[in-house]
Chain A
Amino acid sequence: KAGVTQTPRYLIKTRGQQVTLSCSPISGHRSVSWYQQTPGQGLQFLFEYFSETQRNKGNFPGRFSGRQFSNSRSEMNVSTLELGDSALYLCASSGTGDGANVLTFGAGSRLTVL
């Protein structure tokens, strides 16, 4: 079955702009989580959605937001981009029952802010 798909894979934005990233989970997975990875801070948890509801949120400013649709696809949005937002943004999906804690990651969206 298809894996976790993230789009776009690469993008370049300038300071002050906003960006929307998309994540399509594995079919049947209802949980989608988002992460930011930078060389300085490593991996950091952004937020998690389950059945269209935000279940958990990391310590990021309100410029970072997300949502999940009824088909479990998720988007995250970063407004008023700053240079420090340059990062690899990863999403992961997980299923229910025995698979509830097993994460399958997408390839990531690499954002460069100029």
Chain B
Amino acid sequence: KNEVEQSPQNLTAQEGEFITINCSYSVGISALHWLQQHPGGGIVSLFMLSSGKKKHGRLIATINIQEKHSSLHITASHPRDSAVYICAVRRLGNQFYFGTGTSLTVIP
């Protein structure tokens, strides 16, 4: 069983739609990261969460520590949001574990 489970694996949306990507984890964590990876490999860290909610532009990330669950929301999606979104948790012992990623395609 993976320590980090993401859903959905693949997601296609029309431009302007509201998008939610979910992440569940099974271990105690000190922090959860949402990462974005565009074709070609470069990874950008979008958020680092240890509690509550963070917002940056059209992106919102929430975490519920008790339920071991986090969501990444994209409001008013745009084709440039097309990428793979990866949930990563930093375990209390400091190791990182990664979800398998959600491949998002936003159609104009």
Contacts and interface: CB of A to CB of B under 8 A. Distances in A.
Contact of B88 (A43, A48, A107, A110): A43
Chain A binding surface SS class: strand
A108 B40 CA distance: 10
Interface in B80-108: 86, 88, 90, 93-101
A57 B48 CA distance: 21
B94 A56 contact: yes
Interface string B27-57: 0001101010000011111001010000000
B33 A56 contact: no
A104 interface: yes
A42 B84 CA distance: 11
B31 A101 contact: yes
B93 A44 contact: no
A110 B50 CA distance: 32
Contact of A43 (B45, B86, B93): B86
